[in-house]
């Protein structure tokens, strides 16, 4: 968010900045979704909604989980929030207290440790390597669990790496988790429909149904349907957790706009062909950007398996001197210099628990991505 704000500030000064900071699909929200919102407003769906979600959206979410993951949640096991971030906030706030620990595999989306700390808990980071496909090892998870552990956070497909976790690896993790009944498992599946290589999406509650009583499965419409600004996320999980989350949400924000919920119903129940087209486009863009970056001396970059980010290792570029005379010792300094001098906005890897990397969103259109890669290559060539 801070990187995006800096990029916007430069644009406001008339500078031609290419901002690749946010996971913001360049696709428009589908017309039938917008029309559903319009009709909802015209028909007076503008009053306070239920905190958990409208009956129509709860039913649509239930059907979505059954269709996509073979998960059969009842209505009292579903909650709708202001984006997936609110769902995560609700769950951690409802279940954590000072002294608790939350296991966060790294690289990670930085909301996980920040929300855990807001609730008084401590994140415990598990570094995951590129050689392991950025997946946590079951034995490493087991070694990190203590009597104070309350959550294991799993985000696959992953932001920022695009890593995909197979059902077999999840089953191995489930074997570990059976020995630790005090630990909840959160599966943040927000990128579930954006797997590029044809692999099937797997989620813990489906892989290990015996653990479903302590698994929260999180998703939403923002990435799949290009609806980031509508702020609609949802989750399925055990009713007792959903009740506690609803109490948190009722005193923090309340229910999601019923107009936005009507739009989400249309997205979930309407035609799904746009999703396949977006997935194909994101895969091509990821390949294009990864190849361009990997051609830069000192940069290593593999094409992502999912989502719409590339996560290049730029450690071979660090320590060099920019034309300004500044030595770029860290990924944060390189990201700042790219924005100031090359006018390309991206996010430094340390923000995701992976120093020596950059996260570059490939959700933009093709030409801005090509130009951004040209600017990055030119800037790196200017270092000495």
Secondary structure (DSSP) of 25-70: -SSPPPHHHHHHHHHHHHTT--SPPPSS--HHHHHHHHHHHHHHH-
Tell me the per-residue pLDDT of 8-56, one tens digit each, with 9 for 90 and over: 887 888 888 999 998 889 899 999 999 999 999 999 999 999 999 999 9
Domain identity same for 192 and 45: yes
Domain identity same for 164 and 189: yes
Q: Confidence band (pLDDT; 50, 70, 90) for 242?
A: very high
Q: Confidence band (pLDDT; 50, 70, 90) for 73?
A: very high
Angle of CA points 95, 101, 105, to nearest 5°: 110
- Which pLDDT does position 14 carry in this prediction? 87
Q: Which residues does 333 contact at the CB level (< 8 Å), separation at least 6?
A: 326
- Which pLDDT does position 24 carry in this prediction? 87
The residue-averaged pLDDT of 248-264 equals: 97
pLDDT surpassing 90 at residue 121: yes
Domain identity same for 13 and 36: no
Q: Confidence band (pLDDT; 50, 70, 90) for 217?
A: very high
Domain identity same for 155 and 257: yes
What does DSSP say about strands 78-81 and 18-19: parallel, antiparallel, or unpaired?
A: unpaired
CB 293 within 8 A of CB 312: yes
CB 76 within 8 A of CB 239: yes
Domain identity same for 43 and 162: yes
- Which pLDDT does position 268 carry in this prediction? 98
CB 107 within 8 A of CB 134: yes
Considering Cα of 43, then 45, then 47, then 50, what sign does the dihedral take?
A: positive
Q: Supply the range of the domain harboring residue 249.
A: 31-269
Q: Which residues does 280 contact at the CB level (< 8 Å), separation at least 6?
A: none
The residue-averaged pLDDT of 310-324 equals: 96
In a domain, 182, yes or no: yes
Instruction: Specify the CATH number for the domain of residue 8.
Output: 3.90.1150.10
Q: How far apart are the first and last CA of the chain?
A: 31
CB 277 within 8 A of CB 293: no
Q: What total of structural domains would you count in the chain?
A: 2
Q: Confidence band (pLDDT; 50, 70, 90) for 206?
A: very high
| Helix 55-69 vs helix 258-269: crossing angle, to nearest 10 | 30
- Which pLDDT does position 39 carry in this prediction? 98
In a domain, 26, yes or no: no
- Which pLDDT does position 5 carry in this prediction? 84
Share of the chain above pLDDT 70, in %: 100
CB atoms within 10 A of CB 191: 24
Domain identity same for 375 and 239: no
- Which pLDDT does position 2 carry in this prediction? 78
CB 241 within 8 A of CB 205: no
In a domain, 37, yes or no: yes
Domain identity same for 256 and 344: no
Domain identity same for 308 and 264: no
Domain identity same for 328 and 224: no
In a domain, 370, yes or no: yes
d(CA 26, CA 285): 12
- Which pLDDT does position 189 carry in this prediction? 98
- Final residue before a domain boundary, out of 269, 296, 331: 269
Element (H, E) at 381: helix 366-381
Q: Which residues does 342 contact at the CB level (< 8 Å), separation at least 6?
A: 375, 376, 378, 379
pLDDT surpassing 90 at residue 304: yes
- Final residue before a domain boundary, out of 269, 288, 305: 269
pLDDT surpassing 80 at residue 1: no
The residue-averaged pLDDT of 49-67 equals: 98
The residue-averaged pLDDT of 228-252 equals: 98
Domain identity same for 155 and 232: yes
Q: Which residues does 292 contact at the CB level (< 8 Å), separation at least 6?
A: 370, 373, 377
Instruction: Specify the CATH number for the domain of residue 54.
Output: 3.40.640.10
| Helix 258-269 vs helix 31-42: crossing angle, to nearest 10 | 140
The residue-averaged pLDDT of 150-171 equals: 98
Tell me the per-residue pLDDT of 347-382, one tens digit each, with 9 for 90 and over: 999 999 999 999 999 999 999 999 999 999 999 999
Residue 359, beta-bridge partner list? 347
- Final residue before a domain boundary, out of 269, 299, 334: 269
In a domain, 384, yes or no: no
In a domain, 104, yes or no: yes
pLDDT, mean over the chain: 96
Domain identity same for 319 and 370: yes
Domain identity same for 124 and 149: yes
């Amino acid at each position: 968010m801070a990187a995006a704000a800096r990029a916007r500030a430069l644009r406001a000064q008339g500078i031609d900045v290419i901002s690749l900071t946010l996971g913001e699909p360049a696709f428009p929200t589908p017309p039938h979704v917008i029309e559903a919102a319009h009709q909802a407003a015209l028909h007076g769906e503008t009053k306070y909604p239920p905190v958990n979600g409208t009956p129509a959206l709860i039913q649509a979410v239930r059907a979505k989980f059954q269709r996509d993951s073979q998960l059969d949640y009842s209505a009292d096991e579903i909650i709708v929030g202001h984006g997936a971030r609110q769902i995560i906030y609700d769950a951690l706030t409802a279940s954590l207290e000072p002294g608790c620990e939350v296991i966060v595999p790294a690289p990670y989306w930085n909301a996980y440790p920040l929300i855990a700390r807001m609730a008084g808990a401590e994140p415990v980071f598990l570094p995951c390597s590129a050689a392991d496909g950025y997946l946590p090892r079951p034995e490493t998870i087991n070694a990190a669990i203590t009597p104070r552990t309350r959550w294991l956070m799993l985000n696959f497909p992953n932001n920022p790496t695009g890593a995909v976790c197979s059902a077999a690896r999840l089953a191995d993790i489930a074997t570990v988790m059976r020995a630790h009944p005090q630990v909840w498992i959160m599966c943040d599946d927000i990128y579930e429909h954006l797997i590029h290589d044809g692999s099937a999406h797997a989620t813990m509650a489906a892989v290990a149904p015996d653990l479903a009583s302590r698994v929260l499965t999180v998703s939403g419409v923002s990435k799949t349907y290009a609806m980031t600004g509508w702020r609609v996320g949802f989750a399925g999980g055990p009713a007792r957790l959903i009740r506690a989350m609803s109490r948190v949400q009722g005193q923090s924000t309340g229910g999601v706009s019923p107009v936005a919920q009507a739009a989400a119903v249309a997205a979930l129940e309407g035609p799904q062909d746009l999703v396949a087209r977006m997935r194909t486009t994101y895969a091509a863009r990821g390949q294009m950007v990864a190849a361009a970056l990997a051609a830069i001396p000192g940069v290593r970059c593999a094409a992502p398996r999912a989502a719409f980010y590339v996560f290049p290792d730029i450690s071979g570029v660090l320590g060099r001197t920019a034309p300004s005379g500044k030595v770029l010792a860290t990924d944060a300094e390189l990201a700042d210099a790219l924005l100031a001098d090359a006018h390309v906005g991206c996010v430094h890897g340390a923000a995701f628990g992976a120093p020596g990397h950059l996260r570059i969103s490939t959700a933009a259109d093709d030409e801005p991505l090509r130009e951004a890669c040209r600017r990055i290559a030119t800037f790196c060539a200017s270092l000495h």
